[in-house]
Amino acid sequence: MVIKRPKFSIVITLLKINHYVRESIEHILKQTFQDFEIIVISCQEETEKFSKTKIINAGRLSPAMGRNLGVKKSTGEIIAFIDDDAFPEEDWLEKALPYFEDSKFSAVAGPGLMPPKSTFKQKLSGLVYELSAGKTYYRYRKGKKQEVDDYPTCNLLVRKSDFLEAGGFAEKYWGGEDTQFCHALTQVLNKKIIYDPDVVVYHHRRENIKGHLKQTYFWGMWRGFFSKIYPETSRKITYFIPSLFFLGVIFGGFLSLFNPPIKNIYLGVLSLYFVYMLVLGFKTKSVVYYFPFIFLSIFTQFAYGLGFMKGFLFGEPIKRTLNPRSVKIKNEKIKN
């Protein structure tokens, strides 16, 4: 008796076809497991064609809307989400496949490693995420196999039936839709996401420092917002630490101007922090990256802390320019 193995539908959303997604499709087409289709959702009219690829010109859509549309157009039993600036190892699908032959697991996640041919600034950005990411380091370098309750869509594969049951991505959110979806999957439906370090994609880091800090600030805003509405997965002390540190630096510095005992405590804590950063810098194993890593790590923590406070205090972040047509977006389950 021949057991039919599930088909994968690989969904990629983007603004327009670019050199990164060409690289991604090139690597996808080399998969050792070949029963798949590629669905690209583009905001612009596209004329390029790729093997095994369906390109949908959808106009200006948010990532959540684009991914939901990709799932609607899919024919596979397993949906594999990957970012347009990421590309998989050749055995990406093959490594994930056994989990979907076991009804115990609903989704599979894997690391987004830094591509070997990254630029200096991209490597610096990657090192900051890899070495300063606390308990979520496994998103940026290989960790141990484990269950997770929240994971980004740069490398997330999920059963289509479970995706639909969870309601897909909430289209009212422009960012953080992966956190919302994973919350619905793990906390509402009690499904399991397994992280396997061998289910690998390579994810390009931001090409400049400004882009790195904007991305970190953006992540912080959404995590701060979700910490209020999804406490089960987002209200963790590690997410609050950068904001608490930022507030301590600002208000501690101000109070130390008027109170000598507070000044001594303040300088002592700062000294310990800088010693910690100097020690952490050795993990780069590079003289070239040592000091740039330390400085960027500090600014990254500040950017995340500021973003987190904004999302926590002022509510849902808004990206008004994304949908200029002001389409009314409803938070509802998608239908196949």
In this predicted structure, what is the pLDDT of residue 4?
A: 66
Residues of the chain with pLDDT under 50: 1-2, 320-336
pLDDT in tens, 179-218: 999 999 999 999 999 999 999 999 999 999 999 999 999 9
In this predicted structure, what is the pLDDT of residue 102?
A: 81
For residue 27, the Cα-to-chain-centroid distance in whole angstroms is 20
In this predicted structure, what is the pLDDT of residue 330?
A: 36
Q: Which amino acid is at 116?
A: P
In this predicted structure, what is the pLDDT of residue 3?
A: 53
Of 98, 69, 67, nearest to 83 by C-alpha is: 67
Radius of gyration of the CA atoms of the chain, in A? 21
For residue 182, the Cα-to-chain-centroid distance in whole angstroms is 12
pLDDT in tens, 223-277: 999 999 999 999 989 999 999 999 999 999 999 988 999 999 999 999 999 999 9
In this predicted structure, what is the pLDDT of residue 323?
A: 36
In this predicted structure, what is the pLDDT of residue 86?
A: 97
In this predicted structure, what is the pLDDT of residue 199?
A: 98
pTM to 2 decimal places? 0.89
Task: Evaluate whether the domain defined by 8-205 bears CATH number 3.30.300.30.
Answer: no
In this predicted structure, what is the pLDDT of residue 319?
A: 58
